């Protein structure tokens, strides 16, 4: 086989593969599984906890890295550090009006550091299938450096007119990266059916 025929054969294979896929798209995202201060607790049980406080946490991926050649090979992935959000739930009749996060200690991280955060959120009513609870979402900033399970020690206070109540909770936060590979035709034809 001559070199010219070999080049033509390779070009035909590349064109046929491109037509079959319309390029390859790779997407990567970071997610955290739900973590709880008391394993297996349901929001219906918030009034039944020892002190009426139920904490949860999750990560957000505020920025994405994109590179590649659209139509051929394109990558989109979550960039670290990741934002941490702590969510607090208390009973409606608890009298608390605000949740304040004073510090978050992150271990199993690169350096096991403590990040001093002073963030708060007003407690708003949150409807569940079992009734209502008060809920506050407290963004703690971009303090998670790696995509790995971490242990958080959250220190803060619940504020009320009758006085503040300080708390310290340990949360296990499993974090994992999900990567998906799509052919380009999935972006052309599947949005019609969404």
pLDDT in tens, the chain (194 residues): 788 899 999 999 888 878 878 888 888 888 887 665 544 445 555 555 556 788 888 888 877 888 888 778 888 888 888 888 888 888 877 788 888 888 888 876 555 666 777 787 778 887 777 667 788 888 888 888 878 778 888 888 888 888 888 888 888 888 888 888 888 888 777 665 44
94 is a domain residue = yes
d(CA 192, CA 182): 16
Kind of pairing between the strands at 24-32 and 73-78: parallel
* Residues forming a β-bridge with 180: 27
17 is a domain residue = no
2 is a domain residue = no
106 is a domain residue = yes
Instruction: List the structure tokens of 91.
Output: 């009973």
Identify the domain containing residue 124 by its residue range.
26-183
Q: How many domains does the chain have?
A: 1
pLDDT for 194: 45
102 is a domain residue = yes
Report the side by side order of strands in the sheet with 114-122. Answer: 114-122, 96-107, 150-160, 165-173
């Amino acid at each position: 086989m001559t070199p010219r025929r070999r080049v033509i054969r390779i070009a035909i294979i590349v064109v046929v593969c491109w037509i079959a896929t319309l390029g390859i798209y790779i997407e990567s995202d970071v997610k955290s599984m739900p973590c709880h201060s008391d394993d297996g607790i349901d929001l219906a049980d918030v009034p039944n906890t020892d002190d009426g406080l139920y904490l949860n946490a999750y990560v957000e991926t505020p920025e994405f890295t994109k590179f590649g050649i659209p139509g051929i090979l394109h990558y989109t992935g979550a960039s670290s550090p990741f934002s941490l959000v702590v969510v607090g739930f208390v009973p409606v009749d608890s009298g608390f009006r605000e949740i304040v996060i004073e510090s978050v200690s992150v271990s199993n991280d690169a350096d096991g550091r403590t990040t001093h955060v002073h963030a708060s959120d007003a407690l708003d009513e949150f409807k569940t299938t079992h009734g209502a609870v008060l809920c506050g979402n407290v963004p703690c900033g971009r303090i998670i450096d790696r995509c790995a399970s971490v242990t958080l020690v959250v220190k803060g206070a619940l504020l009320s007119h009758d006085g503040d109540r300080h708390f310290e909770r340990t949360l296990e936060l499993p974090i994992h990266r999900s990567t998906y590979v799509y052919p380009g035709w999935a972006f052309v034809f599947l949005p019609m059916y969404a």
